[in-house]
Amino acid sequence: MYHSQETEILPKPVSKQSPDSIIRIMQSIATSMKRITLDEGPISEVHAFWLAGMSCDGCSIAAVGAKNPSVDQLLKAAIPGLPKVILHHPVLSVTAGDEFIESYHKAKQGKLGAPYVVLYEGSVADESIAEKFGGYWSAMGTEESNDGTHQPIPTAKWLNDLAPEAAAVVAVGTCATWGGIPAAAGNVTNSMSVMDFLGKDYLSSLGLPPINIPGCAPVGDNLTETIASILMFLVGLGPLPEFDGLGRPAWLYKDTVHRGCVRAGNYEEGVFAKNHGDKECLVELGCWGPVVQCNMVSRGALGHNGGCMNTGGICIGCTMPGFPDAFAPFYKAPPGTIVSGVASKTVGSFIRPLRKLTQGKNNLTERWKKEGQVPSGWGHQKHGIVEKVSGYFYSKLQGAGTEFKPNSARQKKLQEKGHSFLKKNIAEKRIEETV
Ligand code: SF4
């Protein structure tokens, strides 16, 4: 049974600094950098403390599936110039019990002797609610309480204690970044995101507000790549990575998932799946991809494989702050589909046949065109009158405004010139060889 020594662990500012402007953040970063890199010498090691709140551990699985860079590469300092990452993870670390938790205590007491980052997975529950019932929501390690017994330490308390001196606090996954499923309507645990918990004035010792890597689970590479970018900045090898107004790495979350979707061509031509398992665009089955900021499909879920629409799943908006309520009920076409879907179908009904014609024209070699058929047992594509006429006009348009006109008099003249040049050279070569 948990008895907290603190009366409550609720959101409160852990830093007195206030981010009035980007300039102020940058000044704070410059001061912190000076302190970390110059006063304490070059950085060879950075500790990473993993904490899990109201989580399913899916974000941990996603992280270990990262490839570019991999967790392994970060731990072995295999990336030139980057410091070695010493990961403290309740599931992945080989140590356990007091030995495992010792480094957390050292960091809290300022005795670690190296910079550290905090990685928080899951949402942060209101431990004061659990305390009323004599329990806790999420905890790791124990400490001696007032009555002399050892009681679990909530991860919310660890976050509160470790965040002020952390070089960066990274919220991993949608529960940590926005609150996620535990913070959905109802929310009996009063769960919240890391940034809600730390408060709007929070800045890390490096001068950074919480960094958010959303996704349920996020793309593992999004996490490891962001960590590598921060480390690069920390050791002075790179600029501060670009983050958007919600603390997301801008280069990873700027675009919608729709833009990188393998089915986007179907959407554009107004071809939609009717049933799960169909290969066309899934928007009429409830896909929210056109408005959801995520790179899951272009990057792949684990080890660059999978990813929602790549494997037949619709986008349910899991990277977005409104998730899950704003995207529910799942598997129902978003209302916007009525307008955009009809528009795509209308445009597509013109575009598709035209593209088919062009495709037919470009699927023929010059020789086959002359012969009027493809000489293969695989098929007997005839080059009919429709294809011939449309192909003729298409080629005219294609070459309009340029000097390139296949089979034109000029083209033939150039070809003849080329042939006579070759003939002349061959003849001269023969004479040389004879001599
Ligand atoms: Fe866009 Fe979703 Fe269709 Fe992909 S499946 S093209 S993300 S609407």
When pLDDT is averaged across residues 247-263 and rounded to a whole number, the result is 97
Q: What are the DSSP calls for 377-418, one per residue? A: TTB--B--HHHHHHHHHHHHHHHTTSS--TT-HHHHHHHHHH
What is the C-alpha separation between 340 and 284, in angstroms, rounded? Answer: 11
| Distance in angstroms (rounded) separating the CA atoms of residues 242 and 174 | 20
Instruction: Give pLDDT, residue 394.
Output: 87
Q: Which atom of ligand 1 is nearest to the CA of 282?
A: 5
Write the DSSP assignment of 210-233 as a string of letters. PEEE--SSPPHHHHHHHHHHHHHH
Percent of the chain with pLDDT over 90: 69
Looking at residue 13, its pLDDT comes to: 37
User: How far is 306 from 312, CA to CA, in rounded Å?
Assistant: 10
More confident site: 395 or 76: 76
73 contacts 83 by C-beta, under 8 angstroms = no
If you take atom 1 of ligand 1, which residue's CA is the nearest one? Answer: 258
CA distance 118 to 204: 10
If pLDDT is split at 50, 70 and 90, which confidence band does 5 have? very low
* pLDDT over 90 (residue 45): yes
pLDDT digits (tens, 9 = 90+) for 296-347: 999 999 888 999 999 999 999 999 999 999 999 999 999 999 899 999 999 9
Nearest ligand 1 atom, CA 266: 6
d(CA 129, CA 189): 7
CB 120 within 8 A of CB 176: yes
Cα 351 to ligand 1 centroid, rounded to whole Å = 19
User: Which distant-in-sequence residues (6+ apart) come within 8 Å of 422 by Cβ?
Assistant: none
Of 316, 312, 315, 314, residue with least CA distance to 278: 312
312 alpha carbon to ligand 1 midpoint, in Å?
10
Convert the pLDDT of each residue in 338-396 to its tens digit. Answer: 899 999 999 999 999 999 988 888 888 888 888 878 888 887 666 778 888 888 888 88
CA 17 to chain centre: 30
CA of 257 to the centre of ligand 1 (A): 8
Tell which wins on pLDDT, 165 or 384. 165
Q: By the 8 A CB rule, do 296 and 214 touch?
A: no
81-109 residue pLDDT tens: 999 999 999 999 999 999 999 999 999 99
pLDDT of residue 20: 52
The single-letter code of the amino acid at 400 is A
- Cα torsion 144, 105, 18, 16: sign: positive
Return the C-alpha torsion angle 266, 267, 268, 269, nearest 10. 50
Which of 255, 259, 262, 263 has most ligand 1 atoms within 8 Å of its beta carbon, as the pocket-test mutant? 263
**Structure confidence at residue 297 (pLDDT):** 96
Question: Average pLDDT over the chain, rounded to whole?
Answer: 88
The predicted structure's pLDDT at residue 334 = 94
CA distance 52 to 63: 13
Q: What is the pLDDT of residues 102-143, one digit of tens each?
A: 999 999 999 999 999 999 999 999 999 999 998 999 999 999
Give the residues across from 239 on adjacent strands. Answer: none
At residue 372, the pLDDT reads 79
Q: Which of 155, 162, 86 is nearest to 125 (CA)?
A: 155
Look at residue 23 and tell me whether its pLDDT is greater than 70.
Answer: no
pLDDT exceeds cutoff 80 at 3: no
Q: What is the pLDDT of residue 17?
A: 40
Distance 313 CA to ligand 1 centre (A): 10
Contact 224, 70 (CB under 8 A): yes
* Ligand 1 centroid distance, CA of 129 (Å): 41
The β-bridge relationship of strands 45-52 and 116-121 is: parallel
| Residue in 278, 281, 316 to alter for ligand 1 test, most ligand atoms within 8 A of Cβ | 281
- The predicted model scores a pTM of 0.83
Give nearest CA residue, ligand 1 atom 6. Answer: 264
How many angstroms is it from 171 CA to the middle of ligand 1?
Answer: 27
Q: What residues flank ligand 1, with Cβ below 6 Å?
A: 257-258, 261, 263-264, 267, 281-283, 287, 289-290, 309, 315
